Structure 1
């Protein structure tokens, strides 16, 4: 409880009251050591969100991308200044890369998915990210606002983003946008040539876009 209070900036009495209500509702479960963890009730509510439809629309195409390239395939969306992983499917053997946990957040300016999402985001969000401090995750991270704006213009022009070592040294990714669902399909750079991986990734992203626009009309109003 004290950890929650410290991180939330709330008095311990308030934390006890809120946690008690969440526990009664089924959102939190108490652990034997006195801590808490998220419970099934939140997952039940989460699958009712529109994003769950985006996940199901993307799943078969990400699975095909995994099969054709033997790499991890990931679906991400943006939330504020972060990209958020919605779905990550494993590849095979030495090409599989790192399987990302659903819900993991990564900075927009330091990842291929983030650059694709930011390039298609509102001008106000682009200004906020480019004008704000840009944390250097590695020596390859873009930390200059003008350089980031130039990079975003190139991503919009080319329709994809390739990043090498900007978030984690020795690792990279390639991403293509999903239009109509505010998303991006991501595959890690590995032994495959960039041109081959780019082609497969864009095919997957285009297939997800088509499925969203034909089967999930609510997303067509949200833009890219």
Structure 2
């Protein structure tokens, strides 16, 4: 696609427009989008108009812009994430009926844990995770599992980067984090008390497709809750999801 005077392609600018939307900002004016995307107002208005015309964006009665249903429709077609979610959801529901707190599914995406699904009890402990939301790899239980089994290059980059403390219990020392990741690889799970929220404990295990770790399955419990039962449920569920994804043996 043609580049702008800044050297950006049209595709790159469209991505910047789409990335201005999130769960707390689901409707915006074109001027809001221009400011948040760092685009000239005229460029943002033109791109928004074209995206509305294709159905990737929509307008409400007040003229504000929203993500369009056609964007959701296109994203669902043949999506790797959709197949994983469909395979995992029945087993996540089984875990959730037993833990009655939060059960989550996450994948590694551009150096963060991206959450594809979350099941929650109405009276469950506090949990900041959202579907299609992201958390740092070094802080969340799902992220730690994904990082532990990621390629060595990504681990090295994370360990060499500043590790922000989400709470006082978040592991921010690179040597301590490296030791934690090694233990996760040995044991196949992590129990992270207070790493993301002081009142909560995250427990996560890897989901494997044959030998490759492709996702993390986790629960979030009250901080002082027993963990053994949840660990057993997660291990059984992750193994079952892996069998579904692997399909019949050759």
How far apart in 2 are the matches of 1:12 and 1:31? 20
C-alpha displacement at 1:101, in angstroms? 2.7
Q: How does 1:25-64 map to 2 (within 5 A)?
A: 25-48=54-77, 49-64=79-94
SS of structure 2 residue aligned to 1:178: strand
Partner of 1:84: 114
How far apart in 1 are the matches of 2:215 and 2:154? 16
Decide whether the 8 Å contact of 2:127 with 2:197 is kept in 1.
no
**CA deviation string 1:25-76 (max 9, x = no partner):** 1011123444311111111011111210000000100011111222321111
C-alpha displacement at 1:117, in angstroms? 0.5
Flag the structure with more relative contact order, 1 or 2, with Cα contacts below 8 A and sequence separation at least 6. Answer: 1
How far apart in 2 are the matches of 1:94 and 1:17? 45
Partner of 1:126: 155
Q: Does 1:70 align with 2:92?
A: no
Higher Rg of the two aligned structures: 2
Q: How does 1:1-16 map to 2 (within 5 A)?
A: 1-16=30-45
Q: Does 1:197 align with 2:230?
A: yes
Aligned length: 215
Pair 96,201 (structure 1): closer, same or farther in 2 beyond 3 Å: farther
Partner of 1:185: 217
Structure 1 gaps of 5+ residues are: 218-224
Q: Does 1:23 align with 2:52?
A: yes
Structure 2 gaps of 5+ residues are: 1-29
How far apart in 1 are the matches of 2:200 and 2:123? 13
Decide whether the 8 Å contact of 1:72 with 1:99 is kept in 2.
no
How far apart in 2 are the matches of 1:44 and 1:96? 33
How far apart in 2 are the matches of 1:42 and 1:160? 35
- Tell me the TM-score normalized by structure 1: 0.89
Higher helix proportion (structure 1 or 2)? 1
SS of structure 2 residue aligned to 1:109: coil
Pair 167,97 (structure 1): closer, same or farther in 2 beyond 3 Å: closer
SS of structure 1 residue aligned to 2:240: helix
